[in-house]
């Protein structure tokens, strides 16, 4: 078992990793996190992992009620949160009940938002079961749901009381979802960790490598630990994204969100869109002269070797459309589009663009 702390004064918590789902109940009991849990999960994850969590809780005299949501981002809505309120009312959830979010980022975001708002706030434990959720969405306290007009438009900061990571759950995760999470892993390498980036280059040599063979369980554990450490240190310094640090986690995301919107979330998974966004950001940075061509090439090569896309394909993804959509991103400040651009492997810089023309010119042309 490995432990990391996220230090946020009275909101501090542990990320416990390299552990098993069956042990969670014992930990909850020992840490005094609640005598009763309200487990929120989805149909896919429930089939594989709900019974082991439930049994572990009951063995430790913790009362359990569960809600199984349908699978998919399209259920990350206020309507689902309302269903959770109704289920909680029926189950007699009270302020001493702890919400357990068991699943990927969708379950984590919805259950986290439910926990943030029901009875003015309940404790929440994040139990991520996708790589993306383990390295990113379960840590940092961002919770929320989508509106028809855009993703994550309603939400709240609500730090969990505990993040419980059992990397063995990744064994059942489809390869495409593993690659999806790897996009966020590459992100951490580029924004903060040259050594992590170098290790990933060795794991995914030229010529291609099967993702499950490249990501042995020992390597995955170390990757998850490193990424959670980076995210924890950033969140500690800028919990509410007001100090200009947490925004570096958006590397690849302003482009990525525009790509997701342009393709109506149908063509690319989130990580795939972020991969495209990181490659585009690298090419822009190179054109601006702030990133060496060799570094831009390394970023794009690694993304490709992991099996993620680097050049958007399709009429809806022209630079003109992407630039227009980026202006609608919720991170636009005072009319300027702010992009996080790499200045090396391990460092990034936020740059504001007032005019779309500049972005369109930078985004035009293909791979470097």
Ligand X SMILES: NC(=O)c1ccc[n+]([C@@H]2O[C@H](COP(=O)([O-])OP(=O)(O)OC[C@H]3O[C@@H](n4cnc5c(N)ncnc54)[C@H](O)[C@@H]3O)[C@@H](O)[C@H]2O)c1
List of residues contacting ligand X (CB under 6 A): 42, 44-45, 48, 71, 73, 76, 103-107, 109, 129-130, 132-133, 136-137, 140, 142, 151-152, 169, 172-173, 177, 180, 270
* Known catalytic residue at 26: no
CB nearer to ligand X: pick between 231 and 305: 231
* Known catalytic residue at 231: yes
CB nearer to ligand X: pick between 117 and 169: 169
* Known catalytic residue at 158: no
What DSSP string runs through 31-53? Answer: HT--SEEEEEEEHHHIIIIIHHH
Measured CA to CA, the distance from residue 181 to residue 264 in angstroms comes to 20
* Known catalytic residue at 120: yes
CB nearer to ligand X: pick between 152 and 318: 152
**Residue 147 neighbours by CB distance under 10 Å:** 12
* Known catalytic residue at 219: no
CB nearer to ligand X: pick between 137 and 254: 137
Which residue is catalytic, options 161, 179, 187, 231? 231
Task: Return the ∠ at Cα 167 (arms to 56 and 132), rounded to 5°.
Answer: 115
* Known catalytic residue at 241: yes
* Known catalytic residue at 35: no
Which residue is catalytic, options 76, 158, 192, 246? 246
Instruction: Extract the tokens encoding 292.
Output: 């060496």
Which residue is catalytic, options 184, 239, 260, 304? 184
Measured CA to CA, the distance from residue 228 to residue 226 in angstroms comes to 6
Instruction: Extract the tokens encoding 337.
Output: 């589009």
Which residue is nearest to ligand X, using beta carbons?
105
279 and 312 in contact (C-beta within 8 Å)? Answer: no
Min dist CB 142 to ligand X, Å, is 4
Which residue is catalytic, options 187, 253, 283, 338? 253
Min dist CB 184 to ligand X, Å, is 7
**Residue 269 neighbours by CB distance under 10 Å:** 19
309 and 256 in contact (C-beta within 8 Å)? Answer: no
100 and 39 in contact (C-beta within 8 Å)? Answer: yes
Active site residues: 120, 142, 184, 231, 241, 246, 250, 253, 257, 270
């Amino acid at each position: 078992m490995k432990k990391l702390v996220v230090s946020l004064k009275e909101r501090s918590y542990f990320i416990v990793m390299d552990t098993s789902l069956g042990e969670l109940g014992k930990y909850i009991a020992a840490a005094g996190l609640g005598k009763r849990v309200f487990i929120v999960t989805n149909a896919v994850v429930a089939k594989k992992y709900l019974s082991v969590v439930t049994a572990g809780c009951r063995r430790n005299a913790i009362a359990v009620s569960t809600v199984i949501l349908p699978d998919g981002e399209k259920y990350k809505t206020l309507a689902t949160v309302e269903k959770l309120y109704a289920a909680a009312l029926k189950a007699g959830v009270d302020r001493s009940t702890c919400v357990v979010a068991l699943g990927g980022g969708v379950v984590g975001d919805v259950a986290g938002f439910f926990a943030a708002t029901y009875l003015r706030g309940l404790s929440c434990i994040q139990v991520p079961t996708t790589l993306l959720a383990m390295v990113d969405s379960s840590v940092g306290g961002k919770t929320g749901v989508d509106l028809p007009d855009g993703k994550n438009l309603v939400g709240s900061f609500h730090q969990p009381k505990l993040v419980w990571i059992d990397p063995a759950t990744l064994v059942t995760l489809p390869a495409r979802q593993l690659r999806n999470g790897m996009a966020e892993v590459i992100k951490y390498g580029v924004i903060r960790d040259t050594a992590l980036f170098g290790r990933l280059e060795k794991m995914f040599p030229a010529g291609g490598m099967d993702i499950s063979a490249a990501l042995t369980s020992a390597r995955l554990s170390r990757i998850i630990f490193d990424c959670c450490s980076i995210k924890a240190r950033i969140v500690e310094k800028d919990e509410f994204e007001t100090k200009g640090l947490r925004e570096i986690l958006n590397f690849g995301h302003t482009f990525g969100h525009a790509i997701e919107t342009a393709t109506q979330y149908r063509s690319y998974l989130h990580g795939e869109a972020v991969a495209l966004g990181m490659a585009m950001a690298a090419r822009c940075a190179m054109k601006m002269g702030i990133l060496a061509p060799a570094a831009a090439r390394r970023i794009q090569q690694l993304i490709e070797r992991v099996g993620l896309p680097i050049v958007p394909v399709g009429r809806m993804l022209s630079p003109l459309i992407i630039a227009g959509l980026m202006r609608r991103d919720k991170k636009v400040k005072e009319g300027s589009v702010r992009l996080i651009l790499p200045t090396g492997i391990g460092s990034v810089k936020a740059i504001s663009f007032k005019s779309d023309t500049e972005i369109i010119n930078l985004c035009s042309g293909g791979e470097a």
